[in-house]
Every structure is written in structure tokens, then in C-alpha cells.
Amino acid sequence: MAMKRLEYLMTLNQYTFEPFIQDESSFKALLHLKLPHNKIETFRHFDVEDILSEEYELSITHEVSSQTKKHFTKGFYSLLIKNGQILSNQTDLPPYITLEKRAKKSFKTNNAFAYLSELFFKETTVLKIDKSPDKPLMIMNINTKNNHFIPTSLTIEVSKNSTLDMVDVYDFKEQTNSFANVNRFFDVKFGAHINYTKLQQLSKSSSLIVNTFAHLATKSTLDTINLDYGGYKTLNIADIVLTKKNSSIHLNGLIKNKGHAKNGNMASIEHLAEFTSSNQAFKHVLDEHAQAVCDIKSIIQSNAPFSKAFQNSHTILLSDDAKINAQPRLQIYTDELQASHGATTGALDEEQLNYLQLRGISKQEATNILLTAFEETILNKITHPTIRAFVDVYQKGVHHV
């Protein structure tokens, strides 16, 4: 099948992408907010200006080749997104999981990156799950282009009382100087549950921003686990408002970086209904000159009594040059709740290292044992055995850092 492609060289922070705007309302919102810069408080510790000032090629593919090689693993239903485009002829989905195009609904956020992706899409693409699948779902995002900006947007809708286990894989190991800006919208119906794992492996010059939004109905739950390994700059931004009674959101992350890689997790969760629950837990293992930012906030409003909000960030620094900026924050406007927050940073425990070495274990092996124990508290939250087995195999080349 012939490829129809529009190619354009652009600089994002100069808004030179205007000829390709499909959603005027998102563009107007972006112009109002403006893309972040390091004078904004939130981004002082996570500078995005160098990403935005790069000159990228924009490639919009209207038709896709049927010759694309499949990248999937047995045991999964699968969806392939190549260079930001969903390849519908490469999906392996049952009849009750469908892809739909829908008219866009307006949404509000202070995250300019979300509007940056949306303005390239005229319609909303929805992955609709009508019942609990008998296998987990894998979304494989691959990039075959160097020096490209790749916007992507997908809504995942799970029907009433259904459960979805899924892994979202970003495989950009071979490409240089690419920047993917991804929107993920989760629409979780009454009593439904999504277990979502994001796994990435990026080249040293590739950057990835994932913007997460969720509409959680009564008694619904969204559990997310971000496994971030490598890359130039990786940023996860979550903007969640809990408006329905007994809805729950859990954000977890394991970040393992070295070199000059930089990772950020920025999350805002607002509780607007009683008996809502949130838990944010992030662990970092940083070596050499790696840096991380953990800026997480929970707001419990007066109309959300009997809610729960927990936050923690724990970091192990393996070198004197690695850095972490952790800011867990609670804003509480009700007396009836359970809440806690905290952050710890330090090196590996020397006493534990010495204890293992005295029993004939080498220092490197002892280090690996302690790091494995540290990381397992996040990895053990992956409850589906097929996804856990896939993660264990996929991350073999990323032993700790």
C-alpha cells in the first residue's frame, strides 16, 4: 500500500507546526498556557527547554504499510503503534475489544503537553473493552525514525465490572534524538479495574513524555506502574480528579537511570468525593550523573471525607553526582481522612553490604541483592503472571542501572 506522508521541519517552542493543526480548541488552550520553561516553578528542576528548542521532523502518515513486522509476544492480545500511528492491520484483538473513532470531548488541564499532542488529531481514538479479556493486552509503541517529534493519543475505555490487565511498551532503543509526546486517557466504568504497566527502554538521546488522565466511576480502580529505564529525558505527568464515591487511583514507579539521564514524575490527584483513595509510591535507583524529580501532590477537599491519600518517594544514590528532588505534598481540607507522606534518600546500607560480604558474597553481588530487594516492592505490584514474566525478560538488559 502506498504511503502518503507530510513531512515538515519544525521547532516546537516556536509553534511552527500550525499547518498541521487538526484541533483548534487544543491549539488555543496551548497558546493560553504556553509550553513550559525553566522559569516556571514546577519545571525549575526538570528543564524541558532543550527538548522543545530542538529542530524536529514531523511525519504524519495517513495510510500504513501492511508489511510492518509484528513485535508481539505470545500470551497477549496486542495493538501496535508505529511512529505514533495505530496500525489497525497489525492488531490481534478479540471481538469484544474494538477501536473506535469518536468526536472529541473538551477537557481542561494545566498540562500544556497534553494539548500539544491533541492538536494533531481531529477525532478521539478509543480502545473499547466490553468485558474482561482472557489474556492481558499489550500496546507496543515502536519508533523507527531519528530526529522526529511523535505525538500520540489514545483513550482506553473499560466497561462496567470488567478487569483489564495491560502493559504499554515504549521501545525506542535504536533511534536518536526522537521526542514522543503521549496522551493516555482512562475511562473506567462502574466497578471496573485497570492494572496498567508502562515499560520503556529508550536510547540515550530519546525523550518521552506521557500525560495521564482518568475518569473513574463509582467503585472503579486504576492501578498504574511506570518502569522507566534510560533515555535522555522522561517525564510522567498525571492529572487526576476523583469525583465519584469509592473510586481509587494508585500511581507507582520504579526509575533506574545512569549517565546523564533525567526522569520526572509529576502528579496531582484531587479528591472531590467521599471514600475516595489514592496512593503514590515511587522508587529511584540513580548512578553516575543521573537525576530525578518526584513532584507529587494530593488535595483532599472538604466534600471528600473518609478518604485516603498516601505518598512516598524512596531513592538510592549510587554515586556522589546523582541527584533527586522529591516533593511529596498534601493539601487537606477535611478532618475525617487517613493520609501520610514522606521521602527518603541515601546510599546502600554499608552494614548490610558488610554482612553479606562476610558470608563470602562479592561486593557487586551483595549490591545486586540489596537493589533487587529494594526494587521488588514495586515489581511485586504487577499481579498478572504473564505481564510479570514479560517484564522480567524485557528488563534483563537493564540490571539495576
Which band of pLDDT confidence, cut at 50, 70 and 90, is reported for residue 345?
Answer: very high
pLDDT for position 289: 95
Range picked from 35-39, 105-109, 188-192 for highest mean pLDDT: 188-192
d(CA 367, CA 124): 47
pLDDT for position 395: 78
For 385-395, the pLDDT digits (tens) are 999 999 998 87
Q: Which residues of 310-331 are buried (b: 16+ CB within 10 A; e: fewer)?
A: bbbbbbbbbeeebbbbbbbebe
Which band of pLDDT confidence, cut at 50, 70 and 90, is reported for residue 375?
Answer: very high
Helix axes 363-379, 350-357, angle to 10 degrees: 120
For 119-162, the pLDDT digits (tens) are 999 999 999 999 999 999 999 999 888 899 999 999 999 999 99
- Work out the mean pLDDT of the chain and round it to a whole number: 90
Give percent above pLDDT 70 in the chain. Answer: 92
Strand pairing category for 179-188 and 207-216: parallel
- Asked if the model's pLDDT at residue 5 lies above 50, the reply is no
Strand pairing category for 323-332 and 5-11: unpaired
d(CA 259, CA 175): 17
Three-class secondary structure of residue 226 per DSSP: strand
For 324-336, the pLDDT digits (tens) are 999 999 999 999 9
pLDDT for position 398: 59
- Asked if the model's pLDDT at residue 173 lies above 90, the reply is no
Strand pairing category for 55-61 and 5-11: antiparallel
Q: Which residue has the cell 561486593?
A: 363
For 248-262, the pLDDT digits (tens) are 999 999 999 999 999
Q: Which residues of 84-96 are buried (b: 16+ CB within 10 A; e: fewer)?
A: bbbbeebbebeee
Domain count, the chain: 1
d(CA 52, CA 117): 13
For 77-90, the pLDDT digits (tens) are 999 999 888 988 88
pLDDT for position 385: 96
Q: Which residue has the cell 492538536?
A: 119
Give percent above pLDDT 90 in the chain. Answer: 74
Q: Which residue has the cell 527538548?
A: 51
Helix/strand/coil (H, E, C) string of 149-195? Answer: EEEEEEEEEECCCCEEEEEEEEEECCCCCCEEEEEEEEEECCCCEEE
pLDDT for position 7: 52
Average pLDDT of the residues in 52-72: 62
Among residues 239, 78, 71, the alpha carbon closest in space to that of 171 is found at: 71
- Asked if the model's pLDDT at residue 210 lies above 90, the reply is yes
What contacts 281, CB < 8 A, 6 or more positions away?
Answer: 250, 251, 252, 253, 310, 311, 312, 313, 378
pLDDT for position 353: 93
Query: Which amino acid makes up residue 230?
Result: G
Higher-pLDDT residue of 72, 311: 311
- Asked if the model's pLDDT at residue 170 lies above 60, the reply is yes
- Asked if the model's pLDDT at residue 207 lies above 70, the reply is yes
Judge whether 197 and 227 are in contact, CB under 8 Å. yes
- Asked if the model's pLDDT at residue 62 lies above 60, the reply is no
pLDDT for position 68: 45
Three-class secondary structure of residue 246 per DSSP: coil
d(CA 216, CA 237): 17
Average pLDDT of the residues in 70-82: 82
pLDDT for position 61: 56
pLDDT for position 400: 54
Average pLDDT of the residues in 25-51: 85
- Asked if the model's pLDDT at residue 41 lies above 70, the reply is no
Higher-pLDDT residue of 44, 78: 78
Average pLDDT of the residues in 104-124: 93
pLDDT for position 6: 44
Which band of pLDDT confidence, cut at 50, 70 and 90, is reported for residue 4?
Answer: very low
pLDDT for position 59: 64
**β-bridge partners, 54:** none
- Return the half-sphere exposure (C-beta side, CA atoms, 13 A cut-off) of residue 44: 7
Three-class secondary structure of residue 40 per DSSP: coil
Give residue 207's domain range. 5-397
Phi-psi region of 288 (alpha: psi -120 to 50; beta: other; left: phi over 0): left
d(CA 199, CA 329): 26
- What does the DSSP 8-state code read for residue 349? -
